[in-house]
Amino acid sequence: MKTNMQTNRRTTFVKVGRTKYIMAALIALTSISTLRAEEKQVTIPAGTAVVVKLDKAVSSSDKPGTQFSGTLQGDLGPDGAVKTGSPVIGQVMEAKKAKRVRGKAQVTFALTQVNVNGKLVTLTTEPIEDIAASSTKKTAKGAAKGAAIGAIADGGDGAAKGAAIGAGASAVKKGESAGVEAGDIVTFKLAAPLLVTVK
């Protein structure tokens, strides 16, 4: 008799334990389904402007592959799928320093990632190319500046000497660098649709 009662109790405990396990599993599945239902995918079309304030300068002195960062200046997508202030990351694609006397410095850069709800999402923007003024223009400016200094120092002869010194000094310098400064506002454009998951 006691054996039967003990067996029934064990069977009851097993059934209760299984029921609790099944209920817990159902609750967990319901919670996951609810979270997934609250999330949705948003597609931001190609051509959308992405306005960014740069955290650091981008220069023709940077090597290809050099990363830069910034913050989004304006929401992206419907209902602010990507919020203002979201961090973005970009990369220098090409960079060329100006050669001595001749040549122009140039740098090409684009965005590669944006932080959405704490996760980095890949994005593709059209590259931006910045080309500096040629070093020949800088040489002319250097000559004019040298002439002005010479005129003040020695008069007419000094002006001629100053012009020669200014031209010579500028000729051995590299041309102006290309790029943008930290704090500059730069507008990129999506080259491909951006798919993000939002809550």
Q: What is the Cα–Cα distance from 90 to 46, expressed in whole angstroms?
A: 17
Structure tokens at 71: 């913050």
* pLDDT tens-place values along the chain, 199 residues long: 555 555 555 555 445 455 555 665 555 454 444 445 467 899 999 999 999 999 999 999 999 999 999 999 999 998 889 999 999 999 999 998 876 545 789 999 999 999 998 899 999 999 999 998 654 444 333 333 333 334 434 444 444 433 333 333 333 344 567 899 999 999 999 999 999 988 7
Q: What pTM did the predictor assign?
A: 0.61
